[in-house]
């Protein structure tokens, strides 16, 4: 069965043992797994050239991603770490919110090692190695983008510290839920589904778009998509639904601009402006809340 998403005994066994951080058992990838990567890469490459931002394309070149096989994380890290200090870190699946954001602050990117089935290339409700490595990691080679991720990770630590000072349990839960929802929305509309201005129009830098054959073109070309210059107050109060093409996207001017937005997010958190954002998606579950509460304890 290889390491196919939702069908990998190796992953199930690791989860049953409570192991979050794991090795990449490269010997377990099946020919079908490598074929899924090959097909995904082959059809995405022309779309990257057409729609992706210049930093992503440069990252692809510098990482030396092979189109014919799933990459080894150790090889990726040999190219990545000297550039920005980041490294891909294999995980067994779901990573609680604080843990995920804190990893970014430590220049680590939690990376799924399974890959979608070769007969289900278009959509997967959870990340796989193609989304994480081909969609996210090339962006981590850019120093400005990497610093924005690190600053975002610092926001999570700040949030854990701030809510730990709230003595009333109900108030602490409500405030934490609002802050985590604001952070998740920000991450979604920037790191996952962000657009950037370019000299020849708009380009994609969000990894959810960069790993989706259909949506990367839809995000730039479709008349159905609303595209607006990013405003922090809009982003933190805007819900989203994951199981459809995104109808609303936001545009940054540069990665310096993105960093300044993360910096402002941190300032707003200190000022209490994230304590009561609009309700709605995404839901914040007990595991995510607990991860922040444990970190602040």
Tell me the CATH number at 177.
1.10.800.10
Q: Is residue 16 part of a domain?
A: yes
Domain assignment present for 262: yes
Could you tell me what percent of the chain has a pLDDT over 70? 99
pLDDT digits (tens, 9 = 90+) for 119-145: 888 766 678 999 999 999 999 999 999
Q: Is residue 3 part of a domain?
A: no
| pLDDT at residue number 116 | 93
Give residue 93's domain range: 9-296
Confidence bin at 278 (pLDDT 50/70/90):
very high
How far is CA 203 from each of CA 23, 80, 149, 194, 220, rounded to the nearest angstrom? 34, 23, 19, 9, 8
| pLDDT, tens digit, 9 for 90 and up, residues 64-119 | 888 999 999 999 999 999 999 999 999 999 999 999 999 999 999 999 999 998 88
Whether the pLDDT of residue 288 is over 80: the answer is yes
Is the pLDDT confidence value at 170 over 90? Answer: yes
Please, are residues 284 and 168 in contact by the beta-carbon 8 Å criterion?
A: no
Q: Is residue 23 part of a domain?
A: yes
Residue 229's DSSP bridge partners are: 251
Residue 4 domain-assigned (yes or no): no
pLDDT (tens digit per residue) in 184-193: 999 999 999 9
Report phi then psi at 142, rounded to 5: -90, 125
**pLDDT in the model for residue 274:** 98
Compute the distance between CA of residue 43 and CA of residue 40 in angstroms, rounded to an integer.
6
- The verdict on residue 175 lying in a domain is yes
pLDDT of amino acid 123: 62
What torsion do the CA atoms of 91, 94, 97, 103 make, to the nearest 10 degrees? 10
Q: Rounded to an integer, what distance in angstroms lies between the CA atom of residue 133 and that of residue 193?
A: 16
d(CA 68, CA 235): 38
- Count structural domains, the chain: 1
Is pLDDT of 29 > 90? yes
State the pLDDT at residue 124: 67
Give pTM, 2 decimals: 0.95
177-181: long-range contacts at Cβ-Cβ below 8 A with a sequence spacing of 24 or more? 177/284, 177/289, 178/274, 178/275, 178/276, 178/277, 179/269, 179/274, 179/275, 180/97, 180/284, 180/288, 180/289, 180/292, 181/277, 181/282, 181/284
What is the pLDDT at residue 125? 66
Residues 6+ apart with CB under 8 A from 19: 92
Residue 191 lies in a domain: yes
Is 72 contained in some domain? Answer: yes
User: Among 272, 264, 273, 265, which Cα is nearest to 166's?
Assistant: 272
**Residues present in the chain in total:** 297
- pLDDT digit string, tens, across residues 199-243: 889 999 999 999 999 999 999 999 999 999 999 999 999 999 888
Dihedral of the CA atoms 247, 137, 158, 20 (nearest 10)? 100
Q: What average pLDDT does the chain have?
A: 95
Tokens, residue 178? 């609002």
């Amino acid at each position: 069965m290889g390491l196919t998403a939702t069908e990998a005994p190796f992953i199930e066994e690791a989860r049953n043992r409570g192991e979050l951080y794991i090795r990449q058992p490269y010997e377990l990838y099946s020919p079908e797994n490598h074929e899924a990567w090959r097909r995904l890469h082959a059809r995405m490459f022309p779309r990257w050239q057409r729609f992706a931002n210049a930093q992503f394309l440069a990252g692809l070149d510098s990482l030396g991603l092979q189109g014919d096989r799933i990459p080894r994380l150790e090889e990726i890290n040999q190219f990545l770490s000297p550039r920005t200090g980041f490294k891909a870190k294999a995980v067994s699946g779901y990573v609680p919110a604080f843990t995920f954001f804190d990893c970014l602050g430590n220049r680590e990117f939690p990376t799924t090692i399974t890959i979608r089935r070769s007969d289900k290339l278009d959509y997967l409700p959870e990340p796989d190695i193609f989304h994480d490595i081909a969609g996210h990691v090339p962006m981590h080679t850019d120093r400005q983008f990497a610093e924005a991720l690190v600053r975002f990770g610092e926001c999570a630590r700040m949030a854990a510290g701030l809510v730990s000072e709230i003595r009333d349990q109900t108030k602490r839960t409500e405030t934490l839920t609002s802050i985590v929802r604001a952070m998740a929305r920000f991450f979604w509309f920037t790191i996952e589904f962000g657009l950037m201005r370019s000299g020849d129009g708009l380009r994609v830098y969000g990894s959810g778009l960069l790993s989706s054959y259909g949506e990367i073109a839809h995000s730039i070309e479709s008349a159905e998509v609303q595209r607006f210059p990013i405003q922090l107050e809009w982003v933190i109060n805007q819900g989203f639904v994951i199981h459809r093409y995104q109808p609303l996207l936001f545009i940054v001017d540069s990665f310096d601009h993105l960093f300044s937005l993360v910096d402002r997010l941190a300032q707003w958190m200190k000022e209490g402006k994230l304590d009561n954002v609009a309700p709605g998606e995404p839901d914040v579950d007990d595991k995510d809340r607990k991860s922040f509460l444990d970190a602040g304890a």
